[in-house]
Amino acid sequence: MRSHYCGTLDTSLIDQEVVLCGWVNRRRDHGGVIFIDLRDRSGLAQVVFDPDLPEVFAQAERVRSEYVLQVRGRLRRRPEGTENPSIPSGQVELLGLELTVLNAAETPPFQLDEDDVGEETRLRYRYIDLRRPEMQRRLMLRAQVTRTLRRFLDDREFLDVETPMLTKATPEGARDYLVPSRTHNGSFFALPQSPQLFKQLLMMSGLDRYYQIVRCFRDEDLRADRQPEFTQLDIETSFLEEDDVMSLMEGMVRELFAQVLEVALPEPFPRMTYAEAMHRFGSDKPDLRIPLELVDVTDLMREVEFKVFSAPAIDPAGRVAVLRLPGGGSLSRKEIDDYTAYVARFGAKGLAYIKVNALASGREGLQSPILKFLPDAVIDAIIERCAPVDGDLLFFGADKAAVVNDALGNLRVRLGHDRGLVEHGWRPLWVVDFPMFEHDDKSGRWVSLHHPFTAPRVAAPEALGAAPGEVLSRAYDMVLNGTEVGGGSVRIHDPEMQAAVFRLLGISDEEAREKFGFLLDALRYGCPPHAGIAFGLDRLVMLMTGSASIRDVIAFPKTQTASCPLTDAPTPVNERQLQELGIRLRRPQV
């Protein structure tokens, strides 16, 4: 139906006959000549209709926005002074000789160049929203990303293997999407949160190198930028140590950025331990573009009489830290109050501060309600350690270490963006040496920081129980500009070690057999050492396109409430379907 795409027309085709198909982006009537900007996914082409061809001209007069057209014409150079250098076809125009209206269009619910369309409306009419050039560029870049990743892995002898969508509930079963089985009445499948166990089984099968671009499902609590179904690049390898996997994967990401964005990422990526990341940035996914760091002053506060500082300072689980904001002395009281309310979201009970007005004046050159609680020696030590200059502001966090890290770590990012401190470019990072376990105070149990199949950095199973909180894992996360884009680990390949991890997590032998019997059996039949990683494809593409949300890089996403305005899913089903599945709904009591 067409000979060329709209965005491919250029001066090399002048005087040639061209056939285009596309949507009417805009129609203009200038002094008896009609101009139509025709749009397809490649871009725009200007089509001109002269009254010299009355029938064609009359058709062009009836055309409106979003009509679908086929146009045959002859390409010519635009008159001098009318060129449009902002589009590839801006040097030429098509003189329309024939016009066929392939389909008319009603007035759309919003114009493609509107900036203030609500997200609910955009998602309800997603097929119109996706016509916007910006959205099409994002999806085309996403396709280029997956193509580049596949090529890299195919060239290195990875096998693309599909794993089941209908599987067994996982350890985090409360977040599974359940699928009732009609043929096994009363039983349910679960949609996979990840192919974790199956990819490990593939390594036990001898396939050596596996990958898959796979849909995963998680029925999580409502969060601003999460999707109930998401896509990840899943990878597993045999006979590779963590350094081998990390080197291979950062090579893949370097090639991805070079091919798609023409950006050279550093070689090698820097590495940072989990402990260092939390100590310096309050986060295990620090954004290294922001030149702000936390400074620990716990030891300086143990002897002060101010209990707000001294209590967490003497608590083994506590921390007192400072975040220095260059030029922060200019912040108003209202701005400081706003930041105090912000850190309260993360559990902070307040946000103490000191404004540094004139260092040379000693205590008199500082401004803060907390100065009266701090002796001169402590103030001098804080100044020496934090190294502020005149005009700076010091924010303090004092609480349990987890609260301080969460509050000041998030404040660091907020200040970096609010104050224009974020450096341009890309700052990749590997975070390594994560704790194997963390203690859940509510349940009184140890839980896995990653998942229970991650290998610990100990040789013998007996070593796990001595001090679980001090055991490190062989896990590694790839962080890019403050976002975790990939996470992986060396896996447990010894059945005794796997059983020991389960027991430490409070999973009895019977429960482990019930949930993971197939994995435990497979471990007994010659399991190779193996390791892997999974990349969040949606989040990676979001970063590469500069989008504000992962919903902008998914063709048909769900809302923040995990619903689909386009199809009105989820919806109730009729009683007959429920009876066939052996399900009876229990209505909530009022």
Task: For residue 491, say whether it is annotated as part of any ligand binding site.
Answer: yes
Task: For residue 537, say whether it is annotated as part of any ligand binding site.
Answer: yes
Task: For residue 172, say whether it is annotated as part of any ligand binding site.
Answer: yes
In whole angstroms, what separates CA 417 from the centre of its chain?
Answer: 18
- What are 416's two structure tokens? 């970096």
Parallel, antiparallel or unpaired: strands 530-536 and 483-490: antiparallel
Task: For residue 536, say whether it is annotated as part of any ligand binding site.
Answer: yes
Q: Which of 312, 314, 272, 266 is nearest to 293 (CA)?
A: 272
Q: Which of 131, 136, 219, 120 is nearest to 557 (CA)?
A: 120
Task: For residue 538, say whether it is annotated as part of any ligand binding site.
Answer: yes
Q: Which three-class secondary structure state does DSSP give residue 48?
A: strand
Task: For residue 280, say whether it is annotated as part of any ligand binding site.
Answer: no
Task: For residue 227, say whether it is annotated as part of any ligand binding site.
Answer: yes
What are the backbone angles phi and psi of residue 102, rounded to the nearest 5°?
-75, -30
Residue 455 CA: distances (Å) to CA of 205, 471, 496, 516, 530: 20, 11, 12, 16, 10
Q: How many C-beta neighbours within 10 Å does residue 168 have?
A: 16
Are 313 and 320 within 8 A, CB to CB?
Answer: yes
User: How many whole angstroms separate alpha carbon 372 and alpha carbon 354?
Assistant: 11
Task: For residue 219, say whether it is annotated as part of any ligand binding site.
Answer: yes
Residue 387 CA: distances (Å) to CA of 356, 383, 394, 405: 11, 6, 10, 21
Kind and range of the H or E run holding 477: strand 475-480
User: How many whole angstroms separate alpha carbon 6 and alpha carbon 19?
Assistant: 9
Q: Which residues pair with 534 in a beta bridge?
A: 234, 487
In whole angstroms, what separates CA 445 from the centre of its chain?
Answer: 30
- What are 93's two structure tokens? 């125009």
What are the backbone angles phi and psi of residue 92, rounded to the nearest 5°?
-130, 165
- Residues in the annotated binding site for L-aspartate: 172, 218, 450, 491
- Residues in the annotated binding site: 172, 218-220, 227, 450, 484, 491, 536-539
- Residues in the annotated binding site for ATP: 218-220, 227, 484, 536-539
